[in-house]
Structure 1
Amino acid sequence: MTDRRRINGPPSGTSPPVFASSLSSKVFPAKRKRAPDELRKIFLKTGLTPSASGSAYLELEPSTPTAAHKSLATKAPALKLTCTVHGPRPLPRSAPFSPQLSLSTRIKFAPFAARQRKGYVPDAGERDLAAHLETALRGVLIGERWPKSGVDVVVTVLEGGEDALWNRGQSSDGGRTGGWGMMSILSGCITVASAAIIDAGIDCIDVVTGGVAAIVRQPTAPPQVFIDPCPADQEEIYATCVVGYLQTRDEITELWTKGNVTLSIDLGFEHLLDQAVEAAVAARLVLIEAIKESTEIKVQTSRIGHPKNAAS
């Protein structure tokens, strides 16, 4: 007798489909068409999740693919992030008294965000990114205004802009924490989390934005510093630097470097850090415009809901 509450499988055995490999080992990165000091176009919008206290969505345009690789299997990677903020809300009664706001950050890759499927439990790379994000945000929040309260910041990576497609997953632990693309992901996470926190109305001392720069080797030129690098565009990356920067206070809340910054005398750590700060300053302009647009929408909505105040 057939069980109507269950979807039964086929009566006979089946064999899984076999697909021919569409990726070749001779896949080379596309040549970067942007200037060394030019960022990719940024799309940022807040207030997309009504159930959350604050939310934001950030998207970076994909790198330009070569004419020989226009298939879906070798499409240019992009970066798409969503962030939701829940709180501030009271901590459980069993929790000890805390005079500061308790901040909890979490970064999770969607199952379809990378070619290597991520599990449900956060791996080492996701936990490492969440720790760096918490450090960047903790120096911005005015925690003493929310005693014995907690706020949760959750960032979901919808598309990771990975570099594993180009066989460039360079990491010291065998690729478990990702390659150079993880640095760009952290930079985007800082910016989108800052936008979501502002949308939630949480008091901050300034607006924090993320910036990334890298020392890149060109095919026919000496190493050069590029801001907002995309691993799929570069021939070889020597070092990368990510910062969380407060422009008004001229402070850095997060600094993470990876690679060897002493390969070139002219391109040292200070120059790499300055370029990462310049990228953060440029991203701040987009964040400010997104905040202004969101504020105007909220003001118009409140006027429609209260016609007496609008008439006065």
Structure 2
Amino acid sequence: MDRRRVNGPPGGTAPPCYASTLSGKTHPSPKRTRGANEIRKIFLKTGLTPSASGSAYFELETPPTNYSNSLTNRTSALKLTCTVHGPRPLPRSAPFSPQLLLSTRVKFAPFAARQRRSYIPDSGERDLAAHLETALRGVLIGERWPKSGVDIIVTVLEGEEDRPWDALAAGNQNGRTGGWGMMSILSGCITVASAAITDAGIDCVDVVIGGVAAIVRQPAAPPQLVLDPCPSDHEEVIAACVVGYLQSRDEVTETWAKGNVTASSDGKGTTPMGFNALVDQAVEAAVAARRVLVEAIRESTEAKIQSSQAKLPDKLTSV
């Protein structure tokens, strides 16, 4: 227990709801308003933390809901921040390393999810950090930074839940379990870390983009393959896959898949949605998100050039 802080309650807490009653209400079935091949709108901006070598902010739009007005009837969004510290020299006591040493960390804010997170990193955060390090290790040109290290820290300000908030409050599992929101979080971590690395000026072979696809099923309907799934928008998520993709080289630096890829609606056979099709759709999601990243990098570069040109006459005058 951390005695230096005043820790909050270990379990989740629900805000007061001044309504007539919630016991007699039924939760409507979740419904995806986007097309199967359509991703959510992305907001990405770099250079928000002056004290860091590079930084970026990533946010996905909150999907519209068909729930009644209530304090708890809302879905979760995805908001991430990333800071890059380095490259900086390693301590003298450290052994010589001919390449850049990469250290990644993914940390959930205590208020990021409905279930309050601890200050101590849990297994989920360590898994996300390991997957993120794998996705970024093949992108950095480490030979140009011998005996140096760089720290990449991603903070999850708001993470996607596996179920709508009203279903969480009522304890309605409704079959949507398994940590499917972690897949979208990893995809966002890869994208925001790539933007922060570019903002820090670290040499890379290309920008790496995260993409996610899933096989979902609605009541009385066959399984469907969708891009950028939001777990609270679907009745059941059968399988999901996350990739880290380099478009210029057509390479995949990271793949994480979970679920039953060969599941069918009737349980008697397999669907044409195999593992290869799931990975291909995840790559398509990454290609669609790459446009946002390239545009954000271009705007940040133009702003830096204009700022340096504005300071140039003052320097010439002082000389």
Bin the TM-score by the shorter chain.
0.7 to 0.9
Q: Which stretch of the first structure deviates more once superposed, 149-158 or 217-226?
A: 217-226
Using the TM superposition, give the Cα deviation of residue 227 of structure 1 relative to its aligned residue in structure 2, in angstroms.
0.5
Q: Distance in 1 between matches of 2:212 and 2:308?
A: 38
Give the 3-state SS of the residue equivalent to 2:233 in structure 1.
Answer: coil
Q: Distance in 2 between matches of 1:103 and 1:27?
A: 45
Using the TM superposition, give the Cα deviation of residue 219 of structure 1 relative to its aligned residue in structure 2, in angstroms.
2.4
Matches within 5 A, 1:78-157: 78-157=77-156
Give the 3-state SS of the residue equivalent to 2:301 in structure 1.
Answer: helix
**Deviation per residue, 1:188-241 (Å, 9 max, x gap):** 000000000000000000110000000000224210100000001001010000
Structure 2 counterpart of 1:304: 310
Structure 1 counterpart of 2:283: 277
Using the TM superposition, give the Cα deviation of residue 266 of structure 1 relative to its aligned residue in structure 2, in angstroms.
1.1
Structure 1 counterpart of 2:6: none
Structure 1 counterpart of 2:194: 194
Whether 1:294 aligns to 2:294 is no
Structure 2 counterpart of 1:256: 256
**Deviation per residue, 1:125-145 (Å, 9 max, x gap):** 000000000000001000010
Q: 1:66 to 1:98 in 2, by over 3 A?
A: same
- Letter aligned with residue 46 of structure 1: T
Q: Distance in 1 between matches of 2:16 and 2:41?
A: 35
Q: Which stretch of the first structure deviates more once superposed, 249-258 or 260-269?
A: 260-269
Give the conservation status (yes or no) of the 8 Å contact 1:30–1:64: no
Structure 2 counterpart of 1:268: 274
Q: Which stretch of the first structure deviates more once superposed, 187-196 or 265-274?
A: 265-274
**Deviation per residue, 1:135-181 (Å, 9 max, x gap):** 0000100001000100000000000011254436623xxxxxxx100
Structure 1 counterpart of 2:74: 75
Q: Distance in 2 between matches of 1:20 and 1:67?
A: 15
Q: Distance in 1 between matches of 2:197 and 2:47?
A: 11
Structure 2 counterpart of 1:52: 52
Q: 1:89 to 1:40 in 2, by over 3 A?
A: same
Q: Distance in 1 between matches of 2:209 and 2:185?
A: 13
Whether 1:205 aligns to 2:199 is no
Give the 3-state SS of the residue equivalent to 1:125 in structure 2.
Answer: helix
Give the 3-state SS of the residue equivalent to 2:45 in structure 1.
Answer: strand
Give the conservation status (yes or no) of the 8 Å contact 1:129–1:186: yes
- Letter aligned with residue 73 of structure 2: T
Give the 3-state SS of the residue equivalent to 1:291 in structure 2.
Answer: helix
* TM-score in terms of structure 1 length: 0.87
- Letter aligned with residue 204 of structure 2: C
- Return 5+ residue gaps in structure 2 as ranges: 1-13, 168-172, 264-269
Structure 1 counterpart of 2:162: 163
Structure 2 counterpart of 1:232: 232
Structure 1 counterpart of 2:42: 42
Give the 3-state SS of the residue equivalent to 1:72 in structure 2.
Answer: coil
CA RMSD of aligned residues (A): 2.2
Structure 2 counterpart of 1:184: 184
Q: Distance in 2 between matches of 1:193 and 1:138?
A: 12
Give the conservation status (yes or no) of the 8 Å contact 2:67–2:73: no
| Number of matched pairs | 287
Q: Distance in 1 between matches of 2:15 and 2:115?
A: 18
- Return 5+ residue gaps in structure 1 as ranges: 1-16, 172-178
Give the conservation status (yes or no) of the 8 Å contact 1:23–1:73: no
Give the 3-state SS of the residue equivalent to 1:232 in structure 2.
Answer: helix
Using the TM superposition, give the Cα deviation of residue 114 of structure 1 relative to its aligned residue in structure 2, in angstroms.
0.3
Q: Distance in 2 between matches of 1:71 and 1:59?
A: 24
- Letter aligned with residue 292 of structure 1: R
Give the 3-state SS of the residue equivalent to 1:189 in structure 2.
Answer: helix
Q: Which stretch of the first structure deviates more once superposed, 70-79 or 200-209?
A: 70-79
Q: Distance in 2 between matches of 1:129 and 1:186?
A: 6
Q: 1:28 to 1:136 in 2, by over 3 A?
A: farther
Using the TM superposition, give the Cα deviation of residue 118 of structure 1 relative to its aligned residue in structure 2, in angstroms.
0.7
* TM-score in terms of structure 2 length: 0.85
